[in-house]
């Protein structure tokens, strides 16, 4: 008589990717077991009655009870990520799921979530154990006009009182209105429009490239962060000065500029010459700005006793090697003589040989030491 197969055991898993359970209810994850999950959901619901993750946890407990009543072996667990919802959140979720799965031999996972970002972790879970079912919880809301206004008012209060949002929702427009009002009263309408564009462009630039977070991250590093911040700001100013210097030198060729303004097709004849003036006038300062940034990184890594300073030194050497080919190229664009073309080819060949020597001898050692340090 053949032995009957043991019933398969399943894990009912609730995912809280932004760790509302830890932040709002102060509950450590992972949470395993029906009683612990029910207590965690209760704490979260008391901390924030409008939190959707609390409903998802209650739904996971209910799913566990349904399987238990049908005599299906199962367990319920809650895993959480990080508030930033990024790489660290997914990595933490992966570790917690692996930890829960290691406690028993589960045949598959039944995922319960409130949808949205929580379901983005499905590939992470599937890499550890098959997902046999996904249950999405949609919180029911009344559609009355009064509740609609209440929700709208809640978001408006968030924009006004939450510093994370108010600095952009109120701070930037407030600065624009005050400055534009002063300039308009002074009869400077054009300057008011220009200031508005500059402030909006600066705000979009700062948030678009996360400059504020980058600066905050540098300052948290201590003294080395101040070195990097100073070098970045100084490098930006020097590069900007280099661009303006190149532009001014280019505009000194009044003949070429006049010809292009009067006849745009003349750019085919004078464009290379103007580009040569632009590159030649800005090259030294732009190269200096890049060198300042690389030097700041080098000093920061030396202060931190990091082997990455060798890589920064390699960048400085590369800058020195590439300077003369670029300088000769700008002279070639302006003059176009046989001598400048010969020098350009010579500098390119010499630079290529130097870079080849560095990349085959010194750079592999630098990369190996930096990799060893990371390990």
Whether 4 is in a domain gets the answer no
Angle at alpha carbon of residue 99, lines to 109 and 107, rounded to 5°: 30
Whether 3 is in a domain gets the answer no
Mean pLDDT, range 266-283, rounded to an integer: 84
- Which of 86, 102, 136 terminates a domain? The answer is 136
Q: What is the pLDDT of residue 1?
A: 40
Q: What is the pLDDT of residue 2?
A: 42
Whether 2 is in a domain gets the answer no
Q: What is the pLDDT of residue 362?
A: 64
- Say yes or no to pLDDT of 372 above 70: no
**Residue 33 corresponds to which tokens in the numbers above?**
């077991």
Do residues 94 and 106 both lie within one domain?
Answer: yes
Q: What is the pLDDT of residue 222?
A: 63
Number of domains present in the structure of the chain: 3
16 near 114, Cβ under 8 Å?
no
Q: What is the pLDDT of residue 19?
A: 85
Do residues 245 and 157 both lie within one domain?
Answer: no
**Residue 158 corresponds to which tokens in the numbers above?**
């968030």
Do residues 273 and 184 both lie within one domain?
Answer: no
Confidence tier at 363 by pLDDT (50, 70, 90): low
- Say yes or no to pLDDT of 333 above 90: no
C-alpha closest to that of 196 among 174, 212, 169? 174
HSE-CB for 336 with a 13 A CA cutoff: 9
- Please state the pTM of the whole predicted model: 0.45
- Say yes or no to pLDDT of 28 above 60: yes
Whether 81 is in a domain gets the answer yes
State the chain's mean pLDDT as an integer.
80
User: How does DSSP classify residue 266?
Assistant: G
Name the β-bridge partners of 109: 11, 131
Do residues 283 and 331 both lie within one domain?
Answer: yes
Do residues 197 and 250 both lie within one domain?
Answer: no
The per-residue pLDDT for range 243-264, each reduced to its tens digit, is 899 888 888 888 888 888 888 8
For the ranges 72-86, 213-227, 358-372, the lowest mean pLDDT is seen at 358-372
The per-residue pLDDT for range 291-325, each reduced to its tens digit, is 888 888 888 878 777 767 777 777 788 888 888 88
The per-residue pLDDT for range 132-169, each reduced to its tens digit, is 988 887 665 544 554 566 677 777 777 777 776 677 77
Q: What is the pLDDT of residue 212?
A: 64
**Residue 156 corresponds to which tokens in the numbers above?**
């408006």
- Which of 208, 232, 263 terminates a domain? The answer is 208
Whether 253 is in a domain gets the answer yes
Q: What is the pLDDT of residue 221?
A: 63
Do residues 54 and 113 both lie within one domain?
Answer: yes
CA separation for the pair 333, 269 (Å, rounded): 11
Name the β-bridge partners of 110: 12, 133
Whether 1 is in a domain gets the answer no
Element (H, E) at 136: strand 131-136
CA separation for the pair 130, 108 (Å, rounded): 5
Domain containing 87 equals 10-136
Do residues 175 and 44 both lie within one domain?
Answer: no
Q: What is the pLDDT of residue 329?
A: 85
- Say yes or no to pLDDT of 369 above 60: no
Do residues 327 and 217 both lie within one domain?
Answer: yes
Do residues 308 and 334 both lie within one domain?
Answer: yes
C-alpha closest to that of 161 among 171, 148, 151, 147? 171
Q: What is the pLDDT of residue 109?
A: 92
Whether 92 is in a domain gets the answer yes
Do residues 245 and 352 both lie within one domain?
Answer: yes
- Say yes or no to pLDDT of 78 above 90: yes
HSE-CB for 27 with a 13 A CA cutoff: 26
Confidence tier at 61 by pLDDT (50, 70, 90): very high
Mean pLDDT, range 101-116, rounded to an integer: 85
- Burial profile 29-56: b = 16 or more Cβ within 10 angstroms, e = fewer: bbbbebeebbebbeebbebeeebbbbbb
Do residues 357 and 328 both lie within one domain?
Answer: yes
Do residues 196 and 93 both lie within one domain?
Answer: no
């Amino acid at each position: 008589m053949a032995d009957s197969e043991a019933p398969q055991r399943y894990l009912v898993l609730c995912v809280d990717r932004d760790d509302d359970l830890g932040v709002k209810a102060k509950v450590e994850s992972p949470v395993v077991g029906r009683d612990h999950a029910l207590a965690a959901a209760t704490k979260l619901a008391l901390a924030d009655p409008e939190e959707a993750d609390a409903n998802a946890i209650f739904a996971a407990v209910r799913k566990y009870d349904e399987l238990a009543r049908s005599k299906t072996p199962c367990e319920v667990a809650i895993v959480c990520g990080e508030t930033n919802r990024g790489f660290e959140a997914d990595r933490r979720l992966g570790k917690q799921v692996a930890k829960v799965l290691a406690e028993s031999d589960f045949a598959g996972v039944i995922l319960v979530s409130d949808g949205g970002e929580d379901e983005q972790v499905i590939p992470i879970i599937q890499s550890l154990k098959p997902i046999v079912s996904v249950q999405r919880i949609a919180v029911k809301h009344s559609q009355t006009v009064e509740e609609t206004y209440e929700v709208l008012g809640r978001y408006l209060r968030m924009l006004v009182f939450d510093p994370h949002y108010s600095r952009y929702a109120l701070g930037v427009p407030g600065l624009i209105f005050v400055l534009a009002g002063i300039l308009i009263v002074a009869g400077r309408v054009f300057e008011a429009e220009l200031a508005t564009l500059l402030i909006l462009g600066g705000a979009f630039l700062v948030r678009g490239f996360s400059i504020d977070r980058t600066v905050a991250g540098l300052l948290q590093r201590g003294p080395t962060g101040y070195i990097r911040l100073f070098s970045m700001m100084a490098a930006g100013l020097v590069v900007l000065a280099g661009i303006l210097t190149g532009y001014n030198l280019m505009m000194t060729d009044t003949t070429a500029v006049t010809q292009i303004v009067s006849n745009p097709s003349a750019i085919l004849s004078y464009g290379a010459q103007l580009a040569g003036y632009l590159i030649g006038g800005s090259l030294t300062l732009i190269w200096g700005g890049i060198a300042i940034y690389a030097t700041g990184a080098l000093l920061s890594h030396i202060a931190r006793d990091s082997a990455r300073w060798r890589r920064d030194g390699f960048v400085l050497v590369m800058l020195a090697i590439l300077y003369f080919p670029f300088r000769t190229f700008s002279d070639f664009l302006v003059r176009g003589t046989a001598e400048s073309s010969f020098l350009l080819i010579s500098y390119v060949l010499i630079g290529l040989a130097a870079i080849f020597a560095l990349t085959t001898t010194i750079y592999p050692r630098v990369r190996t030491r930096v990799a060893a340090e990371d390990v």
